[in-house]
Structure 1
């Protein structure tokens, strides 16, 4: 007597064609390619170690907010002092900003004295406003009082402190120029307040340089490619509610609806799918047109909060949005024309979907099973995204080296003007961080392909069992847990290999062995 071999569950005729026997797997299947399985396990260990490095060294706040004169990240509640809600970076000394933008100067904006504020200060029409350093030393007011006083405690200064402030060495600095919140940096508007400037000159203050340079210098820093990239990464972290709803729950709900429609509306499904796809492409294209400013007045703006009607800021992101809008236009045209061209072939898809509808009807667990790998991927993506944000922001905050003669400032603790350690701070990245980021990105694709391949393998086994079964009553009503376990156990190395080669097994041509017989 002979028995069929293969991964097909069903009943097949014997060699003489007279009887039918249950199709079973006689081979003792086990995990092969153990060498690569070791590599795959090592990959997961490396992912955990790499992510741990990011969690230890990174701070996602660095991607969005700047640093103050103490090396603190604005908005960090763990900083000293507590900077929670103080998210805006403001450069208190306009002459340092001017100097950093001069062609013949070696002074950089990163070394200009900056402070974290709740909002961008503006000059007054009937006097002179001040922005003072964080209260410490002899200035015995709390941070909350400092904020309530609009960062001004000039009246509490000693004569020595006031004289130092008039030399633009602090601890208080005049608000001469209005400023606008551009990506959480207070960008100067090169339009000095006449009343504030006149009041400053009457007090005997140091001459303040008035030039468009103070505007362009800050804008150049905010609009740098590295700053734009950091903001894009930070936006992903800030948009987690949108990612959960639109990238997680909504696709899961729609996929279940799609499977149910295949089950009950087979004939209409190809046309509904093509129509909805084109509607989605057109809608996304129109959305980019709106944000690019080509339709309506809702173009993206780098200004955070209410804009200044007399001050227009152009951001690099607007160019990117317009480029994507053009790309989406091309994709939309190709999509619509392709849909028209394949209208006849869409009819062929109906017969394929009829088979799929029968499979879903017989093996109803097909509707539920994808939730398992979906949930596993969701957990993995949450961990991966958090680790990615920390990796992109990892590094050490160190004090810069600069010309100390241009950054002297009054120290409230030592009660004197300090020129020794007055340079600004920056985040120092080491070369291996770039390698860690690229490995993290590659690891995401590898893990994704592994989960997809594992899911596709289990589903393919069930569909093949149904498709090749000779009798309907031999079709299993649902998945068997031990069959899933045996599938993963037998193919885990191959699935890991396919993911590692950036090629899921669903991209490989299907191979179905025909039933073979063995003689006894």
Structure 2
């Protein structure tokens, strides 16, 4: 009995092990019965976007992005367009279609008051290219160039006759100025005047809150950001197309470029710091602050360079693994060539969303009511709660951008995993995440390779 009982237990264990091994060797297949994941996060994302649409509608109705982009004068007129009169301000409501530049009557020694330049500003058709030393020069400039540098209610013929012309015209001498892309302002070119003007303008920017600093940075660097984005897109396409054919050479080339770039950036920062520190013309407090920031950036860049170069040196034996990884990627792209176009669609969608986001941000930055001052001028007072809306809008930028990128990553992951089972891989992957995984994408902003099994 004991022997038969022992044989029965051994047979049972053998049968269990054989069955377990068979189940282990069973071919893996995608899950057939699927259900929606994380619907609560998807609902939360939709509710968040409902709030974002409210912020957008409020910004469009209450804001005036043209006022920030084109610039405006002290009487509520936006330069470069026709304007609506402001009640109680007789010099408002002017047609400024041909007057696109903002000119300050006291541009050589402006003062800051309530986060603004206190000097009277006008919309002019052109900035003075030469120094104007007298009222006769102002009159001659207005007649020859059609650009009146005195207050609108003073006719050109009265420049030399009106006893109040000294108050209604710019402070003499008027330095030569040049139109600057930032807010279309006439910036004085005289060294001393430019120093005073730049100092006040930088002080205005430094006194702003983070929200308005972001607006100023976007407007000042929009051309650079767009150019670098296009350059990065073109470079990424070149890299993707070439690594399929020259993998080993490309890996070494990329590493060499990274090393050279790190050393170049660190060297330039240290050179700029040394140059500015020993420059005797560095007198403004803001310039001295910039030198300190340069020193900090140089130290940070050098630290990052040393760390990355050490990692490259330690992991240099893993280059062959990188080449093998590129070989696998090349085979996958060979089977799914439309994967090359997926980042392009994502880039276009992101561009559309970012343009929308910046437009709403500009409108929020100019949301305010026009109020008349005792001098007959116009001031714009921001609505309460705008700052909170701006932060809500900023969260929308991060969350939505990450959601779009997560959709791309899920699409690529689904296409790669299902390439062994189906055709029309991109369309099937898009269908899968659009039907079942939208909530998951709202919750998990960045996917990784471990999530491939979810499909």
- Alpha-carbon distance in structure 2 between the residues aligned to 1:459 and 1:149: 58
User: Contact 2:134–2:172 (CA<8 Å) still a contact in 1?
Assistant: no
Instruction: Using the TM superposition, give the Cα deviation of residue 456 of structure 1 relative to its aligned residue in structure 2, in angstroms.
Output: 1.2
* CA RMSD, Structure 1 to Structure 2 (Å): 4.8
Question: 2:228 matched to which residue of 1?
Answer: 246
SS in 1 for 2:103: strand
In structure 1, which of residues 309, 319, 322 is the aligned counterpart of residue 294 of structure 2? 322
Structure-2 change in CA distance of 1:144 and 1:443 (3 Å): farther
Question: 2:367 matched to which residue of 1?
Answer: 394
- Alpha-carbon distance in structure 2 between the residues aligned to 1:479 and 1:511: 14
Deviations 1:169-200 (A, max 9, x none): x3x45624536568635569799xxxxxxxxx
Question: 1:356 matched to which residue of 2?
Answer: 329
- Alpha-carbon distance in structure 1 between the residues aligned to 2:351 and 2:307: 32
Question: 2:447 matched to which residue of 1?
Answer: 505
User: Contact 2:39–2:439 (CA<8 Å) still a contact in 1?
Assistant: yes
Which has the larger share of helix? 2
Question: 2:16 matched to which residue of 1?
Answer: none
Instruction: Using the TM superposition, give the Cα deviation of residue 475 of structure 1 relative to its aligned residue in structure 2, in angstroms.
Output: 5.2
**Pairs within 5 Å for 1:235-314:** 236-237=218-219, 240=222, 242-248=224-230, 250-282=231-263, 294=275
Structure-2 change in CA distance of 1:185 and 1:331 (3 Å): farther
Question: 2:164 matched to which residue of 1?
Answer: 164
**Pairs within 5 Å for 1:21-32:** 23=29, 25-27=31-33, 29-32=34-37
Question: 1:119 matched to which residue of 2?
Answer: 127
Taking structure 1 as the reference length, what is the TM-score of the superposition?
A: 0.63
User: Contact 1:185–1:222 (CA<8 Å) still a contact in 2?
Assistant: no
Instruction: Using the TM superposition, give the Cα deviation of residue 231 of structure 1 relative to its aligned residue in structure 2, in angstroms.
Output: 7.0
- Alpha-carbon distance in structure 2 between the residues aligned to 1:323 and 1:489: 52
Identify which of structures 1 and 2 has the higher relative contact order when contacts are C-alpha pairs closer than 8 Å and 6+ apart. 1
Deviations 1:153-176 (A, max 9, x none): 7773399x723335x3x3x45624
User: Contact 2:127–2:177 (CA<8 Å) still a contact in 1?
Assistant: no
User: Contact 2:412–2:426 (CA<8 Å) still a contact in 1?
Assistant: no
Structure-2 change in CA distance of 1:155 and 1:456 (3 Å): closer
- Alpha-carbon distance in structure 1 between the residues aligned to 2:159 and 2:415: 83
SS in 1 for 2:371: strand
Question: 2:215 matched to which residue of 1?
Answer: 233
- Alpha-carbon distance in structure 2 between the residues aligned to 1:131 and 1:227: 37
- Alpha-carbon distance in structure 2 between the residues aligned to 1:492 and 1:256: 28
Deviations 1:420-453 (A, max 9, x none): x315443322332111111111111111111111
In structure 1, which of residues 485, 492, 511 is the aligned counterpart of residue 431 of structure 2? 485
In structure 2, which of residues 56, 62, 67 is the aligned counterpart of residue 57 of structure 1? 62
Question: 2:14 matched to which residue of 1?
Answer: none
SS in 2 for 1:69: coil
Structure-2 change in CA distance of 1:398 and 1:315 (3 Å): farther
- Alpha-carbon distance in structure 1 between the residues aligned to 2:247 and 2:371: 64
- Alpha-carbon distance in structure 1 between the residues aligned to 2:132 and 2:255: 60
In structure 1, which of residues 90, 94, 97 is the aligned counterpart of residue 104 of structure 2? 90
Question: 2:53 matched to which residue of 1?
Answer: 48
Structure-2 change in CA distance of 1:324 and 1:395 (3 Å): farther
Taking structure 2 as the reference length, what is the TM-score of the superposition?
A: 0.71
Instruction: Using the TM superposition, give the Cα deviation of residue 399 of structure 1 relative to its aligned residue in structure 2, in angstroms.
Output: 3.3
User: Contact 1:188–1:218 (CA<8 Å) still a contact in 2?
Assistant: no
Question: 1:374 matched to which residue of 2?
Answer: 347
Structure-2 change in CA distance of 1:311 and 1:378 (3 Å): closer
Instruction: Using the TM superposition, give the Cα deviation of residue 127 of structure 1 relative to its aligned residue in structure 2, in angstroms.
Output: 7.1
SS in 2 for 1:115: strand
Structure-2 change in CA distance of 1:512 and 1:115 (3 Å): closer
Deviations 1:117-166 (A, max 9, x none): 3315865468754479xxxxxxxxxx98695265477773399x723335
Question: 1:495 matched to which residue of 2?
Answer: 441
User: Contact 1:58–1:395 (CA<8 Å) still a contact in 2?
Assistant: yes
- Alpha-carbon distance in structure 2 between the residues aligned to 1:480 and 1:232: 38
- Alpha-carbon distance in structure 1 between the residues aligned to 2:115 and 2:365: 24
Instruction: Using the TM superposition, give the Cα deviation of residue 243 of structure 1 relative to its aligned residue in structure 2, in angstroms.
Output: 3.9
Question: 1:206 matched to which residue of 2?
Answer: none
Deviations 1:295-351 (A, max 9, x none): 9xxx9xxxxxxxxxx999886695597368524444344433432232223333233
User: Contact 2:122–2:149 (CA<8 Å) still a contact in 1?
Assistant: no
Instruction: Using the TM superposition, give the Cα deviation of residue 67 of structure 1 relative to its aligned residue in structure 2, in angstroms.
Output: 4.2
User: Contact 1:64–1:234 (CA<8 Å) still a contact in 2?
Assistant: no
* Count of paired positions: 412
Instruction: Using the TM superposition, give the Cα deviation of residue 242 of structure 1 relative to its aligned residue in structure 2, in angstroms.
Output: 4.6
Structure-2 change in CA distance of 1:382 and 1:291 (3 Å): farther
User: Contact 1:89–1:116 (CA<8 Å) still a contact in 2?
Assistant: yes
Structure-2 change in CA distance of 1:446 and 1:84 (3 Å): farther
User: Contact 1:69–1:114 (CA<8 Å) still a contact in 2?
Assistant: yes
- Alpha-carbon distance in structure 1 between the residues aligned to 2:274 and 2:396: 37
Question: 1:438 matched to which residue of 2?
Answer: 391
User: Contact 1:50–1:440 (CA<8 Å) still a contact in 2?
Assistant: yes
Instruction: Using the TM superposition, give the Cα deviation of residue 68 of structure 1 relative to its aligned residue in structure 2, in angstroms.
Output: 2.5
- Alpha-carbon distance in structure 1 between the residues aligned to 2:191 and 2:252: 58
